[in-house]
Amino acid sequence: MKRMAKWLAVAVCAASVMFTGCSDGSSSSNMGLLLLNKTTGVRVSVPSYSAGQIIKNKVVNLDSSTDEYYEYFEFTSATAGNYSLYKNSVKQTTYNNAALPTTFTYDADTGKFSTTVSGVTRSSYLFNAASDAAIAADLLTGGEDGKTDESGEWKTSDNVYNYKFDVSSKKCTVSYNGGASGTSESYENESGWIKVGSSKVKLYFGSKDKFYFNAYKTTRTSVSEVGRSIGGDEIVLESPVFILANLF
């Protein structure tokens, strides 16, 4: 639950950008639009990466601090790479007195970044929410058979949060820790972004197998460096949350 609380403590940043693995910024945007046009009705797309690519995540407005944090994900293959965290240009080995990971794995089906520290595995997600880029804490599983919307009952991977959506009445019953009863709240669905009642948790529904929990919009740009191989571009994010640093 500490991980969830840290995700809830930050504000949502707004921007419109796409995740793709092209070395040129303009061609990257065009490729993203082409992909969307070919997948009408599907709001979520997940990027693929290759060896040599680097994701740099600048975390802003973190607890109103003036410190600058950068997470670096350097891909050594399409599914794994090296991880590091810098605070004010100084490499860190711990965050909040907890050891930081040095490697990560990546799943291009869901956009999941995972890492293990002292036998404990944690993860979060990067994905394209239509024309926005986003980071999320978890995937919801469940739903109503035969439905292509948020209808039915959904839960987080640890079963801490449970959502039961009634699309016709725009009501959602929220329960916690597997509780049998819950609180019924009105909810809004704006182009896939779902907010239930006054909760600070935002969900993003892209499809039945890509319903993201605790999702935040982020900005993204691509920077190509002279001398790098094709596909070896740097993807720069600016977001309100860490991807891996605060999970342990």
- What are the tens digits of pLDDT across the range 34-43? 233 333 345 7
Query: pLDDT band at residue 168, thresholds of 50, 70 and 90?
Result: very high
Residue 72 CA, chain-centre distance (Å), reads: 15
The pTM score is 0.77
- Nearest-angstrom CA–CA distance, 44 and 204: 9
Q: Averaged over 44-57, what is the pLDDT?
A: 94
Residue 226 pLDDT > 90, yes or no? Answer: no
Nearest 5 degrees, angle CA 230-CA 235-CA 237?
A: 175
State the Cα–Cα distance between residues 81 and 72, nearest whole angstrom.
10
Q: What average pLDDT does this structure show over 4-18?
A: 38
What distance in Å separates the CA atoms of residue 218 and residue 196, rounded to the nearest whole number?
A: 21
Structural element, H or E, at residue 33? helix 25-38
Query: What pLDDT score was predicted for residue 21?
Result: 39
Residue 18 reports pLDDT greater than 90: no
pLDDT 10s digits, 104-163? 999 999 999 999 998 999 999 999 998 888 999 999 999 999 999 999 999 999 999 999
> Alpha-carbon distance 160 to 8, whole Å?
15
Task: Indicate the SS3 state at residue 7.
Answer: helix
The mean pLDDT of the chain is: 81
Report yes or no: 55 and 48 within 8 Å, Cβ to Cβ. no
Residue pair 138/156 in contact (Cβ under 8 Å)? The answer is yes
pLDDT for the residue numbered 220: 84
| 21-25, 76-80, 147-151, 152-156: range with lowest mean pLDDT | 21-25
Q: Tell me whether residue 224 is exposed, middle or buried, using C-beta atoms within 10 angstroms of its C-beta: 0 to 12, 13 to 18, 19 or more.
A: middle
**Mean pLDDT of the region 166-183:** 90
Mean pLDDT of 197-225: 89
As a whole number of angstroms, the distance between CA 90 and CA 32 comes to 34
In 3D, which of 155, 134, 133 has the Cα closest to residue 143? 155
C-alpha 62/C-alpha 80 separation (Å) is 27
Largest Cα–Cα distance in the chain? Answer: 59
